[in-house]
Structure 1
Amino acid sequence: MAGAPAMAVSGGLSRADAYARADALTALGRKMFFDPSLSASHALACASCHAPSAGFSPADAAPIRFGGPHLDQPGGRAVPSLTYIEVTPAFTEHEFDGEEEGDPSVDNGPTGGLDWDGRADRGRDQARFPLLAPNEMANASPAAVVASVRAAPYAGEVRALSGGSDDAALFRTVVAALEAFEQDPATFYPYTSKFDAYLAGKATLSNAEARGLKLFEDEDKGNCASCHRSQVDATGTPPQFTDYGMIALGLPRNPAIPANKDPNFYDLGLCGPYRTDFAGEADYCGLFKTPSLRNVARRKTFFHNGVFTSLRDAVAFYVYRDVQPERFYPRRADGSVAIYDDLPERYRQNLNQDPPFGGKPGDRPALTEAEIDDVVAFLKTLDDGYQPPHAGVSSSR
């Protein structure tokens, strides 16, 4: 960084050298992110599943991706977005609010971490998963990743940043570079949505968007902000539209996921099968992390199992899950609705019942159809890349 003072920082580097190293890691990580040669198939890059055009989530509506050496091994969950994860806190089993946020005596339960079950705390740890997972990039070992790196055009950059050429050091540099790139502000958290412009006084929400924001925050209506926080925090950081908590929604089972063909298989989130340290913890079964809603309208699938491919349908699920369950769940042979069919009955006490959930079949939904449309209109203001209208044109249009 030009003009940076030559002060010593951790690791023995001057501040200027530390900035230079961070910039070099970011540039290297960008090259790796788009490089399919780092996979066993030589056909799958990070960007294959995290498309920039879709908010770094999949570019199509398939619920899972296929990987492996021959791209024939199915994934188990929908691929999450990589935008706005840079301030995600490390996972904790018991999270307490600060005094400025709420009641510091209330235990909010499991919170934080990366992936749908919070099992990685840092970007470099998360980057290891797809590189080594048999159904993703499918490298047999870190050494296999390094072998591909040695043959890549950026091999010299990796060696220079590693300070050596042994496999362990080179692999550490690979995952550190991917982490650095995924923390690049201009790429992954630019805060350029219409809502950010609105917060800065540079845009006006349309009538539908303004109504949607009000419903989003109304505790008796959408109540979305209870988990997808919409206020600037105490440090002045713009809202991330997540509280990083874990929640059980009772989503419909997605038959398009190959693992679900086994009627005895259930993806239980925090308590397995991919995370094992809470296996058998009944209170955590069915809980998945609340994602940020930034860039949500760019996504093609929603929730951990990709069961919805329309943002409006995803919002409607919250409204009608309990009062009109036949909209989402299959019917049994006797005609009854198999509600919450992707969560074993013994774990259904974990289901969230806060508004707009709750009630019983036939009750009035918390939102009308028109109000659902307004919430969706507001959510579309969270996509980055907003361009204010030309002078003389109202920004509410």
Structure 2
Amino acid sequence: MLPVLSSAAATTVAAPAGGPAAVPELAQHCPPGFELRADNGCYLRSFYRDLPSLQNAGVGGPQTGLPALREGFSPQQIDLGRLLFFDPLLSADHTIACASCHQPHLGFADGRGRSVGIGGQVVSRSAPSLWNVGLLKRFFWDGRATSLEQQAVGPLFAADEMGNSPARLQTDLNGTPAYVALFRQVFDTDTIALEQVYLALAAFQSSLISLNSRYDLYAQGFEEALTPAETEGMNIFRSFVARCAECHTPPLFTNQQIAVLGTPEPEGLTLDIGAEGPSGDPSQRGGFKVPSLRNITLTAPYMHSGRFATLREAVEFYNKGRGHAVPEGEKLSLHWHIWEPQLEARELDRLVDFLGALTDEGFKPAIPAAVPSGLPVPVLSHSKSEQQ
């Protein structure tokens, strides 16, 4: 059964001219795809929940269940997180928001090989997509965070990203009457604590669900949902020759593990040590978290530093042979799935066709027309109808 749509967007009241921002009315209903239960919690509705776990279903098949989801957040927590996500008040100079690097119309990425933070600083890696992050177990390209709350702390206080400090952020939020009123509604407190901010952001991000692509219709038995070219590409994707599904495992299209691929860096950049940094494990040198392929057509360029401009270039990399791009002098512990499949050009094209069938933005949240700080919303949607 497909998820039932429900209204999730709160009506945000614009700030009066020359005065403080008005207090928005928070949503009373769950986001689309979620149902509201008696505990005022939002819980995902998806046919995948009726399917067996990966351990019982095999690798690569469409009839595989989901991992555990962070859920049970209230509609008000989720909507408060949405407002925080789009509010530049969270950055040190009030110029960028979380959404600056995670833009809804770009697959919750930003279309850059390496993201740009406060003061125009170019950071070392690209912004990962946030679709389905509530189903993930580790975060950042190097997998250093194990919760969405930990993930929020990184960009907020990194000097080259949002550049803020805990003390300044707490002062700014508590000095904003609209936020004080909203946090009082949601958390029954007169003083905003940073842990509440992190939780609200986690609540919003956990609601970003994308599980209704044409591939998902196929997985439910509607074989005509895929074109012949996409079906051929799916069979190549799942084959023991290409072996894509062994790391990009349905239905999330990631196994959530760290993999050392030997991906080349953009010209002029030295090797990014990846997961070796937080882990201290030399075998993870150059290793990065296997990303989900959901909405992958929206998040170019590809890899941790945007090395490949197109999906065709990305799939071709895996076909060029094990370790072909490893810098001279580096001895990386390449993942055992990286080998030489020797796919034909036509087969690579079919893989790209199939990846296009993983696109689903049906539950994309509304971009607020105004935020509680009264500051300008830095990210504008392609469509005015998305703003509420």
- Residue 182 of structure 1 and its aligned partner are, at CA, apart by 0.3
Distance in 2 between the 1:155 and 1:163 partners?
10
2:166 is the counterpart of 1:142: yes
Helix, strand or coil: the match of 1:174?
helix
Instruction: Please name the residue that 1:28 is paired with.
Output: 80
Distance in 2 between the 1:147 and 1:48 partners?
22
Partner amino acid, structure 2, of 1:211:
E
Helix, strand or coil: the match of 1:53?
helix
- Residue 299 of structure 1 and its aligned partner are, at CA, apart by 0.9
Distance in 2 between the 1:196 and 1:35 partners?
33
Distance in 2 between the 1:81 and 1:175 partners?
18
Partner amino acid, structure 1, of 2:172:
S
* One of 188, 192, 204 as aligned partner of 1:163: 188
2:258 is the counterpart of 1:246: yes
Distance in 2 between the 1:39 and 1:298 partners?
26
* One of 338, 344, 347 as aligned partner of 1:371: 347
Instruction: Please name the residue that 2:116 is paired with.
Output: 66
Instruction: Please name the residue that 2:311 is paired with.
Output: 311
Helix, strand or coil: the match of 1:154?
helix
* One of 88, 94, 99 as aligned partner of 2:136: 88
Distance in 2 between the 1:385 and 1:154 partners?
29
* CA-based RMSD: 2.4
* One of 349, 352, 376 as aligned partner of 2:335: 352
Q: Would you say the 8 A contact 1:158–1:170 is kept in 2? A: no
TM-score, length of structure 2 as denominator length: 0.71
2:141 is the counterpart of 1:121: no
- Residue 283 of structure 1 and its aligned partner are, at CA, apart by 1.5
* One of 358, 370, 374 as aligned partner of 1:382: 358
- Residue 344 of structure 1 and its aligned partner are, at CA, apart by 5.0
Distance in 2 between the 1:143 and 1:78 partners?
27
* One of 194, 197, 217 as aligned partner of 2:214: 194
Stretches of 4+ aligned residues off by more than 6 angstroms:
none
- Residue 15 of structure 1 and its aligned partner are, at CA, apart by 5.0
* One of 198, 205, 223 as aligned partner of 2:243: 223
Helix, strand or coil: the match of 1:247?
strand
Distance in 2 between the 1:182 and 1:175 partners?
11
TM-score, length of structure 1 as denominator length: 0.70
2:95 is the counterpart of 1:43: yes
Compared CA separation, residues 219 and 36, structure 1 to 2 (3 A): same
Partner amino acid, structure 1, of 2:233:
G
| Mean CA deviation greater in 117-126 or 25-34 | 117-126
- Residue 321 of structure 1 and its aligned partner are, at CA, apart by 4.1
Helix, strand or coil: the match of 2:206?
coil
In the TM superposition, what are the counterparts of 1:91-106 in structure 2 within 5 Å?
none
Q: Would you say the 8 A contact 2:101–2:116 is kept in 1? A: no
2:61 is the counterpart of 1:75: no
1:150-192: CA deviations, max 9, x gaps? Answer: 34433311244343344xx5211111100000011xxx21312
What are structure 1's unaligned runs of at least 5 residues?
2-13, 90-112, 231-238, 326-338, 359-364, 387-397
- Residue 340 of structure 1 and its aligned partner are, at CA, apart by 1.0
Instruction: Please name the residue that 2:228 is paired with.
Output: 207
Number of equivalent positions: 297
Q: Would you say the 8 A contact 1:268–1:285 is kept in 2? A: yes
1:297-356: CA deviations, max 9, x gaps? Answer: 111211111111111110111111449x5xxxxxxxxxxxxx412x852x32x113535x
Helix, strand or coil: the match of 1:37?
helix
Q: Would you say the 8 A contact 2:102–2:130 is kept in 1? A: yes
- Residue 382 of structure 1 and its aligned partner are, at CA, apart by 0.4
Instruction: Please name the residue that 1:179 is paired with.
Output: 202
- Residue 380 of structure 1 and its aligned partner are, at CA, apart by 0.4
Q: Percent identity?
A: 33
- Residue 121 of structure 1 and its aligned partner are, at CA, apart by 1.1
Q: Would you say the 8 A contact 1:29–1:177 is kept in 2? A: yes
Partner amino acid, structure 1, of 2:145:
A
Helix, strand or coil: the match of 1:147?
helix
Instruction: Please name the residue that 1:93 is paired with.
Output: none
Compared CA separation, residues 344 and 116, structure 1 to 2 (3 A): farther
Helix, strand or coil: the match of 1:66?
coil
